[in-house]
A and B are shown apart, each in its own frame.
Chain A
Amino acid sequence: MIRLSIPFRQALSKLTLPVLIAGAFGLLLLGKADTVVMQRARMALADVLAPVYGLLSEPLSSVRNGVDNVRHLLTLYEDNARLRQENERLRQWQAAAQALDVENAALKANLHWIPDPAPSYMTAHVVADAGGIYARAVLLSIGPGTPVVKGQVALDDRGLVGRVTELGSRSARVMLITDISSRVPVVLENSRAHAVLVGNNGARPRLMFWPEGSPPVEGERVTTSAEANAFPAGLPVGVVHYTSGKVAELVPYAQLDRLEMVRLFDYGMRGVLPPEATSSKPSSEVKK
């Protein structure tokens, strides 16, 4: 270590701080001008950290499960009563679903229906929150060589989670449907009207741009639409809920605040190109 006299060191620090502040402005500009370099740097760091956080997440989730178990023990009696009621209701639905399933199969057979191919999927661990303060995203740990591509659709066991937006060699970042820049074309299930699900960084994204005359109804199911070729049609997203201020929001099915595993489906949807592709060819095919 070089030993400097105190006045000299003070003079140096007086000079370095303004230079470094200018450097920070430079970084800001560079980050805005060349998003690809910054993305690579981030994913390189994420690739290093994802396996470590993956190891950490197992004991952490067992601690969380332990706490949950204790909490469940305390509410055992009420839970049981509620579940018994719910079971009763679901049994009725099961009968209805089985009858409809048989009817559906018979109708499809009569119509010579061509079935959709079953999409392939893989399951990945969520190892960390990758949103920061002003974004909502999660980091997945993926094995090297796993065929994950940008634009793949992520679902948990209940519904739509988001899409893969950034990709490293051992990690992938999934932007959640609650992110402020997330836009998902959706269908309101009862009226079949199209709408757009707009993220707002809160727990409940907003529904917007539905056609006049068919507003979303409280409690209506919302599924994805194949519009814009970004999502396949019919993935469950959530149910409509109106705030006290009469704003149509969506309560997502997916448990976005406690994601542990997601399934990544490849539907071959490349309707919305990733930023790298758009920056390299600024053609009209991206913009409508």
Chain B
Amino acid sequence: MVARMSFPIITTAVLLLLLAAPLGLPGQAQWQQAGALCCVFFWGLFRPASMPPLAVFLLGVLADLLDYAPMGLTVLTFLLAYGLALRWRRGLTRLGFLLDWFAFISVAVASSALEWAATSLLSFHFLPVGDALLEAGIAIGLYPLLAIGLTRAHQTIADPDRA
């Protein structure tokens, strides 16, 4: 039961740690942030009970520590994405995957824009926009792929009712 309940949190944390490893992927930092954002949004939408706000906060802290971003910024974007997922969940979970994805696209674009603007402001540099666009692009492309895997997990191993 506890193992099934904690599946979303643990897989997201493992994903963060794994994508901080020296894999040599191009744009790996973007993959890391985007992957975790997909997970946070997905679980916020489909099983918020297994991804409580405090876990989202801690995952954000972990991402910030690994990513050398301004401390607290990823925490903020994760929490906002999660909050939107919670707010939209009643409508979206009924409307089918394509609309989930459209909702996620707006979340990914908004969170990349927020991160870019805040990092620029906090570092007093006009940072290259390309990095932010790449992050949003990766998140948008990755979401359907991750959602396939996570939906299966959601119905099987992460389902506390099966315990």
Q: How far is the CA of A131 from the CA of B22 in the complex (A)?
A: 12
**A1 adjacent to chain B (CB < 8 Å):** yes
- Of A1, A134, A180, A181, chain B has the most CB atoms within 10 Å of the CB of A134
- Of A42, A61, A258, chain B has the most CB atoms within 10 Å of the CB of A42
- Is A24 in contact with B68, judged by CB distance below 8 angstroms? no
- The contact string, 1 if C-beta is below 8 Å from chain A, for chain B 1-44, is 01000000000000001001111100011100100000000000
> A32-B122, A132-B66 known; 20 other A-B pairs, CB under 8 Å?
A13-B48, A13-B52, A17-B53, A17-B79, A21-B80, A28-B72, A28-B73, A30-B71, A32-B70, A45-B65, A49-B17, A129-B29, A131-B68, A133-B33, A133-B119, A133-B132, A133-B135, A137-B68, A180-B123, A180-B128
Q: How large, as a class, is the contact surface on chain B?
A: 35 or more
Tell me the minimal C-beta distance from A48 to chain B in angstroms.
Answer: 10
- Is B68 in contact with A132, judged by CB distance below 8 angstroms? yes
**B82 adjacent to chain A (CB < 8 Å):** yes
Tell me the B residues contacting A by CB distance below 8 Å: 2, 17, 20-24, 28-30, 33, 48-49, 52-54, 56-57, 60-61, 64-73, 75-76, 79-80, 82-83, 86, 115-116, 118-119, 122-123, 125, 127-128, 131-132, 135
- Is A133 in contact with B22, judged by CB distance below 8 angstroms? no
**A127 adjacent to chain B (CB < 8 Å):** yes
Q: How far is the CA of A128 from the CA of B65 in the complex (A)?
A: 14
Nearest CB in chain A to that of B2: its residue: A1
- Is A17 in contact with B122, judged by CB distance below 8 angstroms? no
- The contact string, 1 if C-beta is below 8 Å from chain B, for chain A 95-130, is 000000000000000000000000000000011111
Nearest CB in chain B to that of A129: its residue: B28
- Is B72 in contact with A20, judged by CB distance below 8 angstroms? no
Instruction: Tell me how many residue pairs across A and B have CB atoms closer than 8 Å.
Output: 126
Tell me the minimal C-beta distance from A158 to chain B in angstroms.
Answer: 18
In the complex, what residues of A have CB within 8 A of residue B30's CB?
133
- Of A24, A25, A180, chain B has the most CB atoms within 10 Å of the CB of A24
In the complex, what residues of A have CB within 8 A of residue B132's CB?
133
**A233 adjacent to chain B (CB < 8 Å):** no
- Is B54 in contact with A16, judged by CB distance below 8 angstroms? yes
- Is B21 in contact with A53, judged by CB distance below 8 angstroms? yes
**A247 adjacent to chain B (CB < 8 Å):** no
**A169 adjacent to chain B (CB < 8 Å):** no
Please list the 6 inter-chain residue pairs (A to B) with the smallest Cβ-Cβ separation, ordered nearest first.
Answer: A27-B72, A31-B71, A28-B72, A132-B67, A24-B76, A24-B75
